[in-house]
DNA sequence: GCAGCTGTGGAATACGCATTCCACGTTGAC
DNA sequence: GTCAACGTGGAATGCGTATTCCACAGCTGC
């Protein structure tokens, strides 16, 4: 056996195991590869779960887990699991250290690191702001309006476009009928002309507002199509023509905004809609 | 029994249990006091050990541990142990408090609201995971590779596409030359054929990996174009052909993932690159 | 000083667990 | 086309586990 040597010397530390898995991943048969990927992606599950529960999540047999562990020189699954547990104990302390370090020597860090930390913390703040700003009842109403729609028209340009494109991707997976407005040039108006009051529109626009998006939302509203919108100010022109609108203010770092909170909001709306449809 | 009420409502969270133990420690009989002290002093042992091993360390009988758990309303020792385990998992999240509150309110809220809260908290968790996973040095190296590039080729499909499209928007504003691969069908290969080792590529792909993205990244690497990538597993085919690669595991809510953490990472990278260029 | 009650230790038990084993598929070589 | 070797799924097994139960000890109130 090629792993006879390994059998006598299983990895003693999580990092060693991780390295071994990555090094030998190409020699692994199909199911063991599956386990390897699951193990590295969900280490916490391995640490706490039982062989049976882990096997279920990873879509393999418990015996496969044992074989996997044996492949890397352990007696059985339990031996491998100990490494995952040890890691969790260590990580807690080291993670705390890191946070403390970040707070202390923030100014001393390299510029890239401080930009990185800045965006992460801006994202945290944005999420906090969103959860405070969005009223559950309003959200509920928006979900039901969109869930009852025949087709959902997604209106977004420029900075908002990534959000609508992700919603489009998710709607596709969830089998919710939609139209992404603004993909091919010129035919937007024709597309919108097909919308009826049985449909609905979801418009996204942040300051400075793209005039096209605003205009399109107005047209829809005028024709009786219910419009839900996501924007960053109560003064947004979108607010006027919307049945429900949400204000999401992304915190910025050095003047640049990411879309972390908007993305989370959009995903919640998307899944909420799909879920509401499934129930009816 | 004085703890009849507690029997119906065991603490749902570690902190609640801790409080309960401290509050009621004077009502506890001798051996249970001993267990209480041990539990608060060695929480990790409780999380990882077995009833037998813990009983040995704490100099009590296993049955005493069960009685202790039952005193606080749990069915048995296992129920109490779960709190200690959950604590270890959450420990690296500074948002413990908020999450707990969300979980408590959870059942009372409408489904839409709980979906909403779920995505926001998943986003928080993702951000925490990102900041723990990304090494500053690695990030720094990636920034300088991309900052030195003549043109940055952005490779992303499907779920990753919104990220690259936002980077494209930001690069445009920041006057960084880039090429978004995959917009118009068919000409991708011609576009990539123009890349030289003086350029660089940034590839994004999450499981299940789009074969096109992987293939394109491989082609670039083979031609000497440095590739930086963002993916969700060390097993990603992107990892092999990249000069630097980053693992961002988005936490999921009910099986759906948003892109909050990836977005924050992408923005940090984007601004980091622009900033590095400005300095030189 | 006796009765009743709570607290305690330790054996008995039933369950769930990791592990083993074997039969079936699948693949690749000759 | 046949055979061997390997990978795989799933049932069988035996062990370790949490839990229950019961007998006894130590109080407390009367």
The tens digit of pLDDT for each residue in B75-130 reads 888 888 888 888 877 654 444 444 444 445 545 556 778 888 889 888 988 998 88
| Cα distances (angstroms) measured from residue A150 to each of A177, A194, A199 | 7, 12, 5
Rounded distance between C-alpha atoms, residue A142 and residue A230, angstroms? 11
Residue-level pLDDT at B90: 66
Selecting from B119, B140, B207 the residue whose C-beta is nearest the C-beta of A267 gives: B119
For the CA of A63 and the C1' of D13, the distance in angstroms is 14
Alpha carbons B242 and A84: distance in angstroms, whole number: 27
B175: left (phi over 0), alpha (psi -120 to 50) or beta: left
Q: What pLDDT score does B61 carry?
A: 86
Question: Exposed, middle or buried: residue B170 (CB in 10 Å: 0-12, 13-18, 19+)?
Answer: buried
- Test A131 with B123 for CB contact under 8 angstroms: no
3-state helix, strand, coil in chain B (%, to 5): 60, 10, 30
A268 vs B120: CB contact, 8 Å cut-off?
A: yes
Angle (nearest 5°) at CA B238 between B168 and A30: 140
Distance CA B205, CA B183 (A): 16
Put simply, the answer to whether A259 touches B166 (Cβ < 8 Å) is yes
Inform me whether the pLDDT recorded for B198 exceeds 90.
yes
Structure tokens at B71: 């005193």
Total length of chain B: 280
Q: Which residue ranges form the domains of chain A, and what is each CATH number?
A: 4-87 (1.10.10.10), 129-279 (3.40.50.10490)
Cβ(B195)–Cβ(B220) below 8 Å: yes
| Nearest-by-Cβ selection for A40 from B92, B162, B235 | B235
Helix axes B111-133 and A77-104, enclosed angle (nearest 10): 80
Chain B within 8 Å of A170 (Cβ-Cβ)?
Answer: yes
C-alpha torsion B98→B104→B108→B112, nearest 10: 40
In the prediction, which pLDDT does B166 show? 93
CA distances from B22 to A52, A176, B18, B26 (A): 36, 52, 6, 8
Contacts of B155 (CB under 8 A, 6+ apart): B164, B181, B182, B201, B202, B203, B204, B205, B213, B216, B217, B220
Residue B183: pLDDT above 70? no
Confidence at residue A239, expressed as pLDDT on a 0 to 100 scale: 86
Contact A48, B85 (CB under 8 A): yes
Q: Does any CB of chain B come closer than 8 Å to the CB of residue A36?
A: yes
**Which of the 8 DSSP states describes residue B210?**
P
pLDDT of residue B231: 93
CA/C1' separation A5–C26 (Å): 28
C-alpha–C-alpha distance, residues A196 and B19, integer Å: 57
**What's residue A111's pLDDT?**
75
- CA pair distance B125, A44, nearest whole angstrom: 14
DSSP A209: P
Lowest mean pLDDT of A94-103, A157-166, B176-185, B228-237, name the range.
A94-103
Q: What is the pLDDT of residue B95?
A: 42
Q: Is residue A235 helix, strand or coil?
A: coil
Interface membership of B183 toward A (CB under 8 Å): no
Q: Cβ of B109 under 8 Å from any chain A Cβ?
A: yes
Q: Which of B124-128, B135-139, B233-237, B264-268 has the highest mean pLDDT?
A: B264-268
Q: Which of A186-195, B213-222, B261-270 has the lowest mean pLDDT?
A: A186-195
CB contact under 8 A, B271 and A260: no
Q: Which residues of A touch B159 (CB under 8 A)?
A: 166, 169
> What mean pLDDT, rounded, does chain B reach?
83
What integer pLDDT is reported at residue A3 of this predicted model?
39
What pLDDT, on a 0 to 100 scale, did the predictor assign at position B184? 56
Beta strands in chain B (DSSP E): 152-156, 178-181, 200-205, 227-231, 244-247, 252-253, 256-257
Residue B91 burial by Cβ neighbours in a 10 Å radius (0-12, 13-18, 19+): middle
Among candidates B123, B268, B275 on the partner chain, residue whose Cβ is nearest the Cβ of A264: B123
Chain B contact present for A84, CB below 8 A:
no
Q: Does B2 touch chain A (CB under 8 A)?
A: no
Spans in chain A with pLDDT lower than 70: 1-9, 91-110, 183-186
| Percent of residues, chain B, with pLDDT higher than 90 | 31
List the beta bridge partners of residue B245: B229
pLDDT at residue B1 in the model: 38
CA of A65 to C1' of C24 (A): 20
Residue B192 has pLDDT above 50, yes or no: yes
Rg from Cα positions in chain B = 26
Evaluate whether B246 touches B142 at the Cβ level (below 8 Å): yes
Subunit contact A260:B232, Cβ cutoff 8 A: no
- Provide CB contacts within 8 A for B152, sequence distance 6+: B146, B171, B176, B177, B178, B179, B199, B200, B201, B202, B273
pLDDT score at A6: 39
Helix, strand and coil percent figures for chain A, each rounded to 5: 65, 10, 25
Which residues from B are below 8 Å from A163, CB to CB?
Answer: 162
Interface of A with B in 254-273 (CB under 8 A): 254, 256-261, 263-268, 270-272
| Buried residues in B139-149 as b, exposed as e (16+ CB within 10 A) | bbebbebbbeb
Q: Which of B215, B221, B180, B181 is nearest to B200 (CA)?
A: B221
Measured distance CA(B64)–CA(B80) in Å, rounded: 13
Our measurement of CA A47 to C1' C10, in angstroms, reads: 32
C-alpha A108: how far from chain center: 31
- Band of residue B8 on the pLDDT scale cut at 50, 70, 90: low
- Nearest to residue B273, comparing CAs of B134, B187, B137, B175? B175
How far apart are the C-alpha atoms of A218 and A242, rounded to whole Å? 9
- pLDDT computed for residue A91 by the predictor: 63
The three-point CA angle A213-A214-A220 to 5° equals 90
What does the alpha-carbon distance between residue A122 and residue A111 come to, in Å, rounded to a whole number?
Answer: 16
Q: Tell me, in Å, how far CA of B75 is from C1' of D25? A: 27
- What pLDDT score does A278 carry? 84
CA dist A46 → A103, A106, B85, B191, B254 (Å)? 31, 34, 13, 43, 20
* Residue B102, Cβ density class (10 Å: 0-12 exposed, 13-18 middle, ≥19 buried): buried
**CB < 8 Å to B272, chain A:** 111-112, 115-116
Contact B65, B14 (CB under 8 A): no
pLDDT-based confidence at B255, cuts 50/70/90?
Answer: confident
CA distances for A210 relative to A103, A200, A216, A231, angstroms: 39, 20, 10, 11
pLDDT band with cut points at 50, 70 and 90 for residue B280:
confident
Whole-angstrom distance, CA of residue B139 vs CA of residue B134: 7
């Amino acid at each position: 056996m090629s792993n006879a040597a390994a059998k006598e010397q299983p990895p003693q530390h999580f990092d060693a195991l991780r390295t071994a898995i990555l090094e030998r991943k190409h020699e692994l048969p199909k199911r063991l590869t599956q386990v390897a990927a699951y193990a590295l992606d969900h280490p916490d599950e391995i640490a706490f779960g039982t062989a049976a529960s882990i096997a279920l999540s990873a879509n393999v047999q418990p015996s496969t887990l044992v074989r996997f562990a044996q492949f890397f020189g352990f007696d059985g699954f339990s031996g491998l699991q100990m490494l995952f547990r040890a890691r969790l104990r260590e990580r807690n302390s080291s993670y705390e250290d890191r946070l403390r370090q970040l707070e202390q020597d923030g100014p001393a860090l390299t510029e890239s690191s401080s930009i990185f930390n800045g965006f992460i913390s801006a994202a945290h703040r944005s999420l906090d702001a969103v959860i405070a700003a969005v009223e559950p009842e309003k959200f509920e109403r928006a979900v039901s309006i969109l869930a009852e729609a025949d087709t959902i028209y997604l209106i977004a340009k420029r900075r908002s476009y990534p959000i609508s494109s992700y919603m489009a991707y998710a709607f596709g997976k969830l089998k919710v009928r939609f139209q992404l407005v603004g993909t091919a040039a010129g035919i937007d108006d024709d597309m919108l002309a097909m919308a009826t009051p049985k449909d609905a529109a979801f418009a996204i626009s942040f300051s400075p507002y793209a005039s096209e998006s605003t205009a399109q939302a107005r047209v829809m509203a005028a024709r009786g199509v219910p419009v839900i919108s996501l924007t960053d100010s109560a003064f947004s022109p979108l607010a006027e023509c919307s049945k429900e609108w949400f204000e999401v203010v992304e915190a910025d770092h050095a003047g640049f905004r990411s879309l972390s909170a908007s993305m989370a909001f959009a995903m919640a709306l998307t899944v909420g809609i799909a879920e509401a449809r499934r129930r009816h």
